[in-house]
Amino acid sequence: MIESLLRIFPEILVGLLGMGVLAYSPFAKKERNDLAYISIGGMSFILLTIFIWGGQTEGIAFDRMVIVDSYTSFFRVLFCLTAIIVMLMSIDYAKYFPSRQGEYYALLIFATMGMMLLPASGNFLTLFLSLELLSISSYILAAYMRNHPKSVEAGLKYLIIGGLSTGTLLYGISFIYGLTGTTDFQKVTEWIVARGKIEPVLLVAGFLILVGLFFKIASFPFHVWIPDVYEGSPTPVTAFLSVGSKGAGFAVLVRVLMNVMIPLKQEWVFLIALFAAATLLFGNLAAIPQTNIKRLLGYSSIGQAGYLLVGLAAGSHLGASAILFYLLAYLFSNLAAFLVVVVFFRTTQSDEISDYAGLSRRSPLLATSLTLGLLSLAGVPPLAGFFGKFILLGAAVREGLLWLVYIGALCIVVSLYYYLMVIKQMYMGEIKDPRPLAIAPSARWTLYACMIGIIIVGVYPSPFLNIAMAASKILF
């Protein structure tokens, strides 16, 4: 038992931090942002412990309910980084709910705990419990600005559709259990191999599990919650969902498909490729007419999910490594864009793209950050997103999915169009309000960190790709 607890020591620390923030909340001085700094400091300490002792905690825990390996460690770092950056961008935003800051930061922490446990799942029960910890926290966060009708609507829609996806996932898991008599990933794989033939019920179960997880990553046609939830949620929460929730969904998808369902690879590869193509086309085409920056980034995130599905459709070590690398690039690129949206909204109370006109003259730093973030998301060299897309499409080429690569390349051109429309507004649009925009020190330094991340990962991709390949090798 002690050995098993040590395996999940970082997750235990995250849970204790969340409870500590809640306990301290009634005594915190909100004007000094005590809760924010405690949360950021705590997550930074946990990130440090993962770097120092992460390798020593690797192994199997709780009778294979939890598997801690290099793959798990990669996502632990990724999700801790995401939480820290989102907490930094929340410092000024939290003034909109001064009396409920403790619960806000605690929910972010508990959601991060769920994310960290998902890639460590060695059993469908662990997968479900981790997913629910993430989901329930996310539903509340989406509706956290309860005096704003759009925020309440976002939370309600997210809850209803999320509940539907959870039910679908559980239905698939129940088929798996009824057929194999176990929910353990390894034993399910062994049962499939020993059976020697593919049962139709197993295919139905696999499809239901895929559908449940596709809701989480916002794949077409299970994306319907994205535009309204992204627009209505508090902007830091939107950023958290777009990076963390999507990353957690892909973390468990890669684990399940590349590990548990690998005997069924011939059956699911083409299906994933079809979903990837549809997601790419819909996400990028639907983003073109958007006039709200959060809705545009929402549809953009659907398109980005399509590129990640391309790596999944490859069904190879390179494809899995490309997914991990691209999630790192996506973290810096997307959070840089959303941080600009947070700072801009705080001053102007607007998320309309037309109001970004002349931003380069009001705040060169914000304009530069948003430009770098959008160009990286589009896949422009030498930024992080370019190399990520290059590896993803390269993995598909190796597996003979040329038709999917052509669609991916076409969608890069389409995405450039709507990203450049925003950039054109910032640099060539007629300025409406010449007053400079104030940027808090925490936001300023976070923007610098994201921009440096975008450039370094793009210019020097080899070390990060090697880390991604080493992390995903355990699955093959």
Are the C-beta atoms of residues 165 and 215 closer than 8 Å to each other? yes
Exposure string for 282-296, b = 16+ CB within 10 A, e = fewer: bbbebbeebebbbbb
Sign of CA dihedral 28, 33, 39, 44: negative
Exposure string for 261-275, b = 16+ CB within 10 A, e = fewer: bbbbeeebbeebbeb
Return d(Cα 26, Cα 463) in angstroms, integer.
Answer: 45
Return d(Cα 337, Cα 402) in angstroms, integer.
Answer: 31
Break the chain into its structural domains and give their ranges: 265-476
Write down how long the chain is: 476
pTM of the model: 0.93
pLDDT of residue 151: 78
Q: Which residue has the tokens 């790709």?
A: 465
Instruction: Please write the tens of the pLDDT for every residue from 358-411.
Output: 888 888 888 899 999 999 999 888 899 899 999 999 999 998 888 999 999 999
Q: Which residue has the tokens 């020593």?
A: 56
Instruction: Please write the tens of the pLDDT for every residue from 126-166.
Output: 999 999 999 899 888 888 777 777 778 778 888 888 888 88
pLDDT of residue 174: 92
Task: Write the DSSP assignment of 175-191 as a string of letters.
Answer: HHHHHHS--BHHHHHHH
**Alpha-carbon distances of 345 from 33, 300, 451, rounded to whole Å:** 20, 20, 20
Return d(Cα 161, Cα 29) in angstroms, integer.
Answer: 37
DSSP type of residue 352: B
Q: What are the respective helix, strand and coil percentages of the chain, to the nearest 5?
A: 85, 0, 15
Paired strand residues for 68:
59
Instruction: Please provide residue 237's backbone torsions phi and psi, each rounded to the nearest 5 degrees.
Output: -70, -40
Return d(Cα 429, Cα 353) in angstroms, integer.
Answer: 11
Smallest Cα–Cα separation from 170: which of 128, 222, 108? 128
pLDDT of residue 30: 62
Return d(Cα 307, Cα 475) in angstroms, integer.
Answer: 21
pLDDT of residue 294: 85
Which positions of the chain have pLDDT values less than 70?
1, 30-32, 54-57, 96-99
Cα Rg, the chain, nearest whole Å: 21
Q: Where are the alpha helices (DSSP H) in 196-292?
A: 200-217, 226-232, 235-240, 246-255, 265-287
CA atoms within 13 A on the CB side of 135: 25
